[in-house]
C-alpha cells in the first residue's frame, strides 16, 4: 500500500512526538477538569487512541459518527449524525477529536450541536489541519500538523475505507482516486 503514496509527509515517529506534545498541553489546560473526549468516527479513532494515552488527567470518552463525504473525495455539504453520543454533554468541557479539519463544515455543525446541548465549552483537537480548503470560519484549538491541499491517507485518514491502518501519513497518488 505504501506504493500507492506519492510521498510521505509524516513518519510514525514524527506523529508520535507531536501527539505527545499535544497531550501534554491538553493535560495542562484541563488539569482541574475531567473533559469529555469525543472521537469523530471513523477517521479519528487512531489519533484518539494515541492522544488519550498521552493525556495524564482523567477523561471520559465517547464517539460520534458524522458524515458529509460518503464514499466521495469531496464533501456533499450536507452533514448528518450517523451515531450519536451515549452520554449527555450538558455542563461538560468537551474536546472533539477529529482526524482532519478540511472544509470545516462538519466541525462547525458539530460544535454548534454540542453547544446547543449545553456543553460548558467545546474545543477542537485535530491531527491534521488543511486550511487551504476551509469554507467555514473554524480553526482547531489543538493541532498536530498543518497540511497542504493534497489527498492524504494513513493514520486514520482513508480513501474508500482503505489506508487507515498506515502508521505514517502520505499523499495518495492521483491515479488511485482520479476516476471520480
What are the grid coordinates assigned to 141, written together? 484549538
Strand partners, 157: 154
Pinpoint the alpha helices (H) of 117-159.
Answer: none
| DSSP states of 12-55 | HHHHHHHHHHHHHHHHHHTTTS-PEEEEEETTTHHHHHHHHTT-
112 catalytically annotated: no
Of the residues 99, 102, 129, 158, which is catalytic? 102
Q: Which residues belong to the active site?
A: 102
Amino acid at each position: 500500500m505504501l506504493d500507492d503514496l506519492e510521498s510521505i509527509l509524516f513518519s510514525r515517529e514524527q506523529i508520535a512526538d507531536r501527539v505527545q506534545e499535544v497531550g501534554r498541553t491538553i493535560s495542562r489546560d484541563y488539569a482541574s477538569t475531567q473533559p469529555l473526549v469525543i472521537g469523530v468516527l471513523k477517521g479519528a479513532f487512531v489519533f484518539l487512541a494515541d492522544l488519550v494515552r498521552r493525556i495524564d488527567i482523567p477523561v471520559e470518552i465517547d464517539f460520534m459518527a458524522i458524515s458529509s463525504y460518503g464514499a466521495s473525495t469531496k464533501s456533499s455539504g450536507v452533514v448528518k449524525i450517523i451515531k450519536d453520543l451515549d452520554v449527555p454533554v450538558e455542563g461538560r468541557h468537551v474536546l472533539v477529536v477529529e482526524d482532519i479539519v478540511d472544509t470545516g463544515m462538519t466541525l462547525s455543525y458539530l460544535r454548534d450541536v454540542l453547544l446547543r446541548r449545553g456543553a460548558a465549552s467545546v474545543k477542537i483537537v485535530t491531527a491534521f489541519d488543511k486550511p487551504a480548503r476551509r469554507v467555514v470560519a473554524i480553526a482547531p484549538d489543538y493541532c498536530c500538523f498543518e497540511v497542504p491541499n493534497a489527498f492524504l491517507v494513513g493514520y486514520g485518514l482513508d480513501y474508500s475505507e482503505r489506508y487507515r491502518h498506515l502508521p505514517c501519513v502520505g499523499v495518495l497518488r492521483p491515479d488511485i482516486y482520479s476516476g471520480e
